[in-house]
């Protein structure tokens, strides 16, 4: 070991004395990377590799990806994207309004604490219990269903309305239960980050409250708003347990296709399953990537 490593690590770190010191530090992080490699990176690499292989011969091919244009699969992507878009936009919009209401809307301050605490819990509330809870509420025998029918004469499942919890719409309603809180949790600190001085400066320069929101506050919040909605999109796109519990796989979703593929080789083409999985990873990666980029901008602005 030469002096060079010491100079390298100079920025903000203890000077690394040559020899044992340096390698001990690496020893601290190697287990982490090794573990990640073993149980995340490499397995996904197996999927990646497999997606480019012909399932029978093992020869390299992109046929699997071409096969993604199969109507079932396209439909699944379409539905997944649609549900994710809807819950992202609705979740984003109403989640923002909720956050705004408790922070700047003139409500008693305790409401904000309650909403924040509840959101911390509710954003974690997904999968089987959530699906069950909504079955108890809006399912065929659900409490709300019965209430509406008995007291207001509204038959949700009847021919006139034809509602069903076990459809796209039902799933969207259920997904919102963890989308709203996620939006609230991320928007609240951003709204908080709107410096008082900006509002005062804008007033001082002659702007009305509406103009302040139009020209200053909303533009400043936009990266966070957009970024979080994209995060919500990814969140919904990757959800599986909730959908499965609710619909037993009857709605075409990418995650359900994949889980069907895992439990029984429904495609009879393992390569296609891999391609499907990688397609999903790409969508998620793009979503998270855009979110990260927007988050950096908003942080820069809100920190200024």
Task: Restricting to residues 82-141, name those near another protein by CB under 8 A.
Answer: 94, 97-98, 100-107, 109, 111-113, 115-137
295 interacts with another protein by CB under 8 A: yes
Closest distance between another protein and the C-beta of residue 111, in Å?
6
- Closer to another protein by Cβ: residue 63 or 104: 104
# chain residues binding another protein, by CB under 8 A:
138
Closest distance between another protein and the C-beta of residue 159, in Å?
24
- Closer to another protein by Cβ: residue 72 or 113: 113
266, 249 Cβ separation under 8 angstroms: no
**Which residues, 172 to 191, sit near another protein by CB under 8 A?**
175-182, 185-186, 188-190
**Rounded to whole angstroms, how far apart are CA atoms 286 and 69?**
20
234, 284 Cβ separation under 8 angstroms: yes
69, 296 Cβ separation under 8 angstroms: no
256, 240 Cβ separation under 8 angstroms: yes
Segment contacting another protein by CB under 8 A, of 59-67, 75-83, 164-172, 261-269: 261-269
Burial of 157 (0-12, 13-18, 19+ CB in 10 A): middle
32, 21 Cβ separation under 8 angstroms: no
**Which residues, 4 to 63, sit near another protein by CB under 8 A?**
8-9, 11-14, 16, 24-26, 28-29, 31-33, 35-36, 38-44, 46-47, 50
Q: Which of 54, 75, 82, 203 binds another protein (CB under 8 A)?
A: 203
Output the six-digit token pair for 224.
């966070």
Residue with tokens 């992109």: 62
Output the six-digit token pair for 10.
């100079």
Closest distance between another protein and the C-beta of residue 76, in Å?
13
219 interacts with another protein by CB under 8 A: yes
Q: Which of 144, 161, 169, 266 binds another protein (CB under 8 A)?
A: 144
171, 243 Cβ separation under 8 angstroms: yes
């Amino acid at each position: 070991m030469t002096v060079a490593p010491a100079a390298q690590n100079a920025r903000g770190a203890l000077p690394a004395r040559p020899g044992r010191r340096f390698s001990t530090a690496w020893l601290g992080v190697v287990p982490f990377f090794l573990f990640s490699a073993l149980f995340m990176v490499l397995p996904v690499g197996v999927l990646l590799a497999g997606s480019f292989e012909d399932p029978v011969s093992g020869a390299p091919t992109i046929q699997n990806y071409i096969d993604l244009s199969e109507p079932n699969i396209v439909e699944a992507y379409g539905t997944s994207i649609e549900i994710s878009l809807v819950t992202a936009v609705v979740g984003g919009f109403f989640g923002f309004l909720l956050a705004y209401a408790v922070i700047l809307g003139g409500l008693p301050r305790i409401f904000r604490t309650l909403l924040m605490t509840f959101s911390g819990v509710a954003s974690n509330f997904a999968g089987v219990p959530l699906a069950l809870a909504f079955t108890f509420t809006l399912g065929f025998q659900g409490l709300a269903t019965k209430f509406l029918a008995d007291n207001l004469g509204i038959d949700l499942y009847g021919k006139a309305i034809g509602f069903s919890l076990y459809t796209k719409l039902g799933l969207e309603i259920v997904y919102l239960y963890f989308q709203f809180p996620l939006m609230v949790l991320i928007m609240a600190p951003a709204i908080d980050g709107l410096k008082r001085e900006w509002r005062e400066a804008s007033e001082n320069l002659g702007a009305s409250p509406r103009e302040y929101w139009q020209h200053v506050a909303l533009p400043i919040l936009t990266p966070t708003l957009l970024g979080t909605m994209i995060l919500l999109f990814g969140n919904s796109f990757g959800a599986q347990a909730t959908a499965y519990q609710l619909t037993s796989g009857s709605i075409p979703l990418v995650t359900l296709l994949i889980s069907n593929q895992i439990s029984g080789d429904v495609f009879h083409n393992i390569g296609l399953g891999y391609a499907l999985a990688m397609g999903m990873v790409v969508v998620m990666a793009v979503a998270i990537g855009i979110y990260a980029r927007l988050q950096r901008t908003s942080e820069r602005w809100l920190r200024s």
